[in-house]
Structure 1
Amino acid sequence: MLIFKICFYRLLPLSVLLLAACSALKAPESSSVLKNHIASDEWQEYQHQLKQIQQFQIQGSVAYFSDEKKAYARFFWQQYSPKNYHLLLLSPLGQTEFELKVTNGRVDMAKYKDQGEIKGNAEEILFKLTGIPIPLEHLSRWIVGASSDADEIILNRQSRLKTLIHHKKEQTWKVYYQAYNTKITPILPERLELYLISPNHQDQRMTLKINHWILK
């Protein structure tokens, strides 16, 4: 079993984060036309390949920006099946900061530091502990570049996702695929930016960098 060295930092010094803060809350614009349905053979074949990915491991980093908060963390995610996964965040000393296990779509175990197990919905638990609204319900598909739950999409010239838009109640998630890892088959995302737009809340942004992919 491959073990990654993972570090978790609640909040980076402001001087470090200011380098990215200037554009933190402004979603990139695109001149492309949004399309609800894409029928090209190349696109359909690529999506078929992605649907075959049921198990994977990824390790990387996530940066979070809002008007009130800026944070940076390292993460480890292991997907066992579509509704079974394990998310782990560790401190610089190797201590567990947050651990989440989901089985059959339900939280099997959630721990935060030494507070013991926590009950509730996975997204709600993570939001209460970190203040970051990570869309865990959809993230495993967005990570691989699948568009199964998208309301609108834009493709790049290689017939892979450039932009994905997902509406959930009064919230809108916009996912921008900035880079792909071309050294693995199928080609998978390497850098994503996620924007959450809410009418009654501040806009928020997350940058997800995937350093390692392991497919099973």
Structure 2
Amino acid sequence: MKNLTFLFVSLAALLLAGCQSLDISDERPNNVQYIEKTDAAWQTHLQKIKAIKAYSASGQLGYISAKERFSSRFDWQYNNPRAYTLFLSSTISSSTLKFQMHANGMTISDNKGNQRSEADAKMLLREIVGMDIPLEQFATWLKGEPNERADYKVGANHLLAGFGYPIDGTLWTADYLNYHTDQSVALPKDILLKNAEQTLKIRVDSWKY
């Protein structure tokens, strides 16, 4: 098991180290104008977002913590909370990591034939790559759908501007910096996710739904 973990960690370091940093600021914006959550255009958009159950997105992500700092290409394919796949890949080699969620937990595999499965998906992601992100919420956060019981803000563009959401005693904040507006439903382009110890910068290049 230790040898397998070492192989995964070595591969993760290889594929993640070669990617350029995202040109998204680490700092939260402070000049955003907000409108009421009851805004009709926002409520219409929110219903469209909720109607998107299965979708895929691809782009680049950057991760920063006291112990880790990396960026990678990503491909996210989501069907439901127990059926989704996250691919991480290098821009300078053929190395890939595949995170596949299924009924019994998560399986991580690479293009070298290594594989590891655990019931605790967050633990596995933290052990192999070093990321500690809320996978249970990631699917809705990525498409710009807030928890309606959470503290969220709507921007003057009638789209989600940001929110704060506590998970296991840790407050996560999200800021939606730019959107793809040249499609039937406006979906996020640049997202900044943060807590006191971690920063996750996401740029989505393309959406399919």
Partner of 1:93: 93
CA positional deviation for 1:183: 1.0
Counterparts of 1:114 and 1:81, CA distance in 2: 26
User: Over aligned residue pairs, what C-alpha RMSD do you find?
Assistant: 2.7
Partner of 2:16: 10
Partner of 2:153: 154
Counterparts of 2:86 and 2:74, CA distance in 1: 7
Is 47-56 or 75-84 further displaced after alignment?
75-84
Give the letter aligned to residue 208 of structure 2.
I
Contact 2:84 2:101 in 1 (8 A): yes
Give the letter aligned to residue 54 of structure 1.
K
Amino-acid identity (%): 21
Counterparts of 2:118 and 2:202, CA distance in 1: 27
CA positional deviation for 1:82: 4.4
Contact 1:100 1:107 in 2 (8 A): no
Choose from 104, 107, 110 the match for 2:108.
110
Partner of 2:119: 120
Structure 2: state its 5+ residue gaps.
1-13
Is 153-162 or 67-76 further displaced after alignment?
67-76
TM, length-normalised to structure 2: 0.80
Q: 2:171 aligns to what SS in structure 1?
A: strand
CA positional deviation for 1:164: 1.4
Structure 1: state its 5+ residue gaps.
1-7, 198-202
Contact 1:60 1:208 in 2 (8 A): yes
Structure-2 change in CA distance of 1:158 and 1:20 (3 Å): closer
Contact 2:32 2:155 in 1 (8 A): no
TM, length-normalised to structure 1: 0.78
Structure-2 change in CA distance of 1:73 and 1:50 (3 Å): same
Counterparts of 2:160 and 2:41, CA distance in 1: 12
Structure-2 change in CA distance of 1:108 and 1:130 (3 Å): closer
Aligned residues: 194
Asked if residue 62 in structure 1 is aligned to residue 70 in structure 2, the reply is no
Structure-2 change in CA distance of 1:72 and 1:162 (3 Å): same
Contact 1:176 1:194 in 2 (8 A): yes
CA positional deviation for 1:169: 2.6
